[in-house]
Amino acid sequence: MTQIPTSRHSAFQVVTGFFSVPKAMRIGVGPTIAAVILVVIVLAAVLAPYYVPFNPLEMNAMSRLKPPSEAHLLGTDPYGRDIFSRVMTGGRVSLLIGIGAAVVSVAVGLLIGLVAGYFRLADSIIMRIMDSLMAIPAILLAIALVALNGPSVTSVIIAITVPEVPRVVRLVRSVVLTAREEPYVEAAIALGSSMPKVLLQHLMPNTFAPLIVQGTYICASAILIEAILSFLGAGVSTEIPTWGNIMAEGRSYFQIKPGLIFWPGLMLSLCILAINLLGDTARDILDPRMKKREV
């Protein structure tokens, strides 16, 4: 039966082959487009200060609500600020929060999850705490944090991270619980490997594949939550343009100037769509069972 590609053997090959070039080149048209879109958005946001024609904060009473022209590609907003410059610059904070929240949630969740998965006593305590953290809605927490500390990027990242960490912990814990039953882990214990060595060298690498996938989803949802928070006025300070802020300000001018909502909204949708698509692709490559279900 070794010829049938569902065997354990090929599953390992798929996992170990993930980072090799031929596999990466075979990911298909959709994910390739998604990757291109994401790279363009990230570059556009990072390099924004070097190419945007206007200072995104500079107001100009002479050119309020101008239609698109050669000077103002997408027109101007009610304060005469260049919409194109604002939308492009606004991506910086959104992406920073998305990536920041993903990295912090994954790092903290991995640490707690490893401990919960390996030590039986710690497990029951940690998991109860995680259950209660999961019950906190991100938006409510953000509003509370903003009320306490004032609006800032840090507050938003904390607000998004707190409810995400328990999800990561659960994921890591379940992977560790399964992996610790593997004979190679028992063999390592029999060989006299210390607890940290077993944990970090044998068990932790098993969590990387699912964490990459989980990380992309957290990143996408963080960008979205940031936009929602900014739109509600509970996010980043209104002085800094973010996609959510720009949309919030454009709300009252929607009928005269739909571009104020349309352009940042388009960037937000494209960005999240691209990240989710790449996350799905990573999941398919790293978890061959899911891929098979689609065929």
Partner 1 sequence: MEFKSKDFTDAKRVLKIRGLTVGLTGRPNADPVLRGIDLDIRAGETHCLVGESGSGKSVTSLTAMGLLPKDALEIQGGSIDLEGIEITQAKPAQMRALRARRIAMIFQEPMTALNPVLRVGEQIEEVLNMHSDLSRAEARARTIDMMEQVHLPDVERIYAAFPHQLSGGQRQRIMIAMALILDPDLLIADEPTTALDVTTQLQILKLISEMQERHGTAVLFITHDMGVVAEIADTVSVMQKGRIVESAPIRQLLTAPKEDYTRKLLQAVPNLDPRAPRAPAEARDVITVDGLEMTYGGGGFFRASQGVRAARDVNFTIQPGRTLGIVGESGSGKSTVARAIMRLIDPTAGKVTVAGTEIAKLSRRQLQPHRKHFQIVFQDPYRSLNPRWTVARSLCEGPINFGTSRADAMEHAAELMELVELPRDALDRYPHQFSGGQRQRIAIARAVAMKPDLLVADEAVSALDVSVQAQVLHLLDDVQEKFGIAMLFITHDLRVAAQICDEVLVMQKGVVVEHGPAGEVLAAPRHDYTRNLIEAAPGRLWDFANFRALDRTAPATGATL
Query: Footprint of partner 1 on this chain (CB under 8 A)?
Result: 1-6, 8-9, 12-13, 15-16, 182-184, 186-195, 197, 202, 205, 295
Q: How far is the CB of 171 from partner 1 (least distance, A)?
A: 19
φ, ψ dihedrals at 161, nearest 5° = -70, -45
Closer of 2 and 132 to partner 1 (Cβ): 2
Cβ–Cβ under 8 Å, residues 131 and 166:
yes
Q: How far is the CB of 15 from partner 1 (least distance, A)?
A: 8
Closer of 203 and 223 to partner 1 (Cβ): 203
φ, ψ dihedrals at 182, nearest 5° = -65, 140
Closer of 15 and 59 to partner 1 (Cβ): 15
Count of Cβ atoms closer than 10 Å to residue 76 Cβ = 28
Nearest to 246 by CA among 220, 221, 264, 225: 264
Cβ–Cβ under 8 Å, residues 83 and 75:
yes
Cβ–Cβ under 8 Å, residues 255 and 270:
no
Closer of 134 and 209 to partner 1 (Cβ): 209
Task: Enter the tokens of residue 269.
Answer: 């949708």
Q: How far is the CB of 18 from partner 1 (least distance, A)?
A: 12
Q: How far is the CB of 117 from partner 1 (least distance, A)?
A: 17
Q: Is 67 left (phi over 0), alpha (psi -120 to 50) or beta?
A: beta
φ, ψ dihedrals at 76, nearest 5° = -130, 165
φ, ψ dihedrals at 290, nearest 5° = -65, -40
Q: How far is the CB of 193 from partner 1 (least distance, A)?
A: 6
Closer of 62 and 191 to partner 1 (Cβ): 191
Closer of 150 and 183 to partner 1 (Cβ): 183
Residue 160 contacts by C-beta under 8 Å, 6 or more apart in sequence? 97, 101, 105, 138, 142, 221, 222, 225, 226
Cβ–Cβ under 8 Å, residues 189 and 198:
yes
Closer of 2 and 255 to partner 1 (Cβ): 2
Q: How far is the CB of 216 from partner 1 (least distance, A)?
A: 22
Only one residue has tokens 């390099």, namely 47
Q: How far is the CB of 275 from partner 1 (least distance, A)?
A: 27
Nearest to 62 by CA among 73, 71, 50, 53: 71
